[in-house]
Chains A and B, each alone.
Chain A
Amino acid sequence: MNKHRASVLMRHEVGLHARPSVKLTKLAKAFQSKIDLGLSPDGPWVDAKSIVKVMATKAPKDSTIYFRAEGSDAKAALDALVMLVDGDFQDGP
């Protein structure tokens, strides 16, 4: 089974708001794996590819974002997502 988990501290000043959520869901959609996002290691989990669900978490600044992914590119997906959040949602290269 290709299951992976990761977590990252989000420092973005206004939390997981519209622009970060747009970037995060766009990036998640680039992968085939099923990817979930939560605000605690035990969930509840939401689909990280759905902006409606991601925004609904209303994650504030300094919350830890947890990811779990399942699929062929799960590892790569989580690496990319963690890098995005850790890099404060700056545009990647």
Chain B
Amino acid sequence: MDRKMHRTACRIEGRSAAPGVALGPLLRLVSTTSQAPVSRSPAVERQAFEDALEASRLDLVALAGEMKDENAEAILSFQIALLEDENLAAPAFALIADGETADRAWVAAIDPEIATYDGSQDHYFHARASDLRDLRDRVLRRLAGEVDQSLPAGVIVAADDMPPSLFLATDWRDGGLVLRRGSPSSHVAILARSRGVPMIVGADVTEIESGADAVLDADAGALVVNPGAELRVEYTRRHAEQLEARRAASSYSGPTQTASGERVKVMINVTGLAELRDIDPSSVDGIGLMRTEFLFHGRERLPTEDEQYQIYRQMAEWACGKPVTIRTLDAGGDKPIAGLTQTGELNPFLGVRGVRLSLRRLEVFRVQLRALARAATVGNLKVMIPMVTVPEELVHCRALLQEAVDELRASGREAALPALGMMVEVPAAALTIEDFDADFFSIGSNDLIQYVAAASRDEPQLADLARPSRAVFNLIGHVVEHADRSGREASLCGDLAGDPEQAAALLDQGLRTFSVAAGALAPVRAAIARYSGKGA
């Protein structure tokens, strides 16, 4: 105790990514592998591959030991036997010797095996394809340096970067997050805001040691290591205030109106059922964005139709007839999913992501559409397609959705055709919005801003460019105007909607439906209530 008090306080500056204050011991995560796709020698790739195979095998052996269920144990034994069979990895080792990277070599070796099972008429053999995919993804995760681990609660975690799967697996009560990389609009930041986890980015974490006491002031964007007694007292008080403010913000006082009496819908963005537990559906106008990619993260295998259906159905039930807008898988870009998204893209944000990926992985997309069509029988479910660029993509999705409904009904299952809308986040789509056969529009401001400004949201030096500009507001106005004229709904579900300082500018553009992280509900409602009309 005395020793700590004599240590000098050290302040590390960063940028706020999710507001709040946290106090606690620091935990420094050191990533095991370099994230950068540097070219490495075949010998290094070979070693990395061997390590990943062995680590995966040990993971599976450990998992098998925990399993009580005979079937689960059998699947794991099968996967372990596959890993122990040199024949499986042999083609990968040959490719690595020829200069291929370990991850690509592994995919090239195992995908043909998966294809032979996929092509089997025998449903039992057919089903083994998923065991192989699972194995492929496990090794890929190991190659990417991801570890099956969870972090202790109540600590301030400092790391270079963090995959969403690890964030989601962590109990963040009273904890906080400090990252060197990432940006306030990265997906972990979105998760942190929606779950009320204080977080800063752009902080130099290299000198941080685990175990030191710290306070994280994510409002100011700074971490103080070894704070003095005075600082501790101050932040303990602020921490208590924060808890109190959160309790107060969750109280709700009727539908949102502007000062001039105009009704504005405020919906919430969610990533899963857990966030809905503490929210009364009567206090919001529905779910404006459910990000399904988080169902695909941190898992042993892709979610099945039934697993997805159960989640969508429970959301629809929770909403009691209010709209539940479910975005189909938006993987790619900064949201890679091992074994699904393409690896080695030079510019993933301009690559095969969102609907572009779904239309190339129809076997995955169809499962999701079937689950959605089944859940649409339960409530007011709406399906939203991300990254739509040209009208044909939406036409294709509509045909696939209709097919899913027809197939389900033909096999005696209940299904309904949900409304089909699109995210407006590609400038080409925003500019020609009248060409799209969408039942509703939802503006994805995070991507729209970075594509309009040609400035990455993950580049701290360009933070001034990657902001909502007049160009962005013009596009938003254009989309909202078209939606109004054609009698369809336009909402905005990006971070822009959750920023109370931007509410007036968005209302000026005619926007009357906001979808925000649960944590932003109270401040955004307050800002809307202050609005008394354009130019006022």
- Seen from chain A, the residues whose Cβ lies within 8 Å of a Cβ on chain B are 14-15, 17-19, 21-22, 25-26, 47, 50-53, 55-56, 58, 60
Contact = CB atoms under 8 A, between A and B. Distances in A.
A18 B120 contact: no
A21 B87 contact: no
A88 to B, nearest CB: 15
Given A17-B125, A22-B77, A51-B78, A56 B131 contact: no
A26 B120 contact: no
B334 to A, nearest CB: 35
What is the interface residue range for chain B against chain A? 10 to 19
Identify the interface centre among A14, A15, A53, A58: most chain B CB within 10 Å of its CB: A58
A21 B87 CA distance: 15
B125 A58 contact: yes
Majority secondary structure of chain B interface residues (helix, strand, loop or mixed):
helix
A19 B77 CA distance: 8
Contact of B124 (A17, A26, A47, A56): A17
Interface string B108-147: 0000010010001010110010010000000000000000
A22 B85 CA distance: 11
A60 B85 contact: no
Contacts of B128: 17-18, 55
Interface of B: 74-75, 77-78, 81-82, 84-88, 113, 116, 120, 122, 124-125, 128, 131
Given A56-B116, A58-B125, A60-B122, A18 B131 contact: yes
Contact of B81 (A17, A51, A56, A58): A51
B152 to A, nearest CB: 37
Contacts, number: 47
Contacts of B113: 52
A50 B82 CA distance: 8
A24 B23 CA distance: 56
A89 to B, nearest CB: 11
Contact of B122 (A22, A50, A58): A58
Contacts of B124: 14-15, 17
A15 to B, nearest CB: 7
Given A14-B124, A21-B81, A58-B122, A50 B75 contact: no
Contact of A18 (B74, B85, B86): B74
Contact of B87 (A15, A17, A26, A50): A50
A53 B84 CA distance: 13
A24 to B, nearest CB: 10
A47 B81 contact: no
A21 B78 contact: yes
Given A14-B124, A53-B87, A58-B120, 7 more contacts: A15-B124, A17-B125, A18-B128, A19-B78, A21-B78, A50-B85, A60-B122
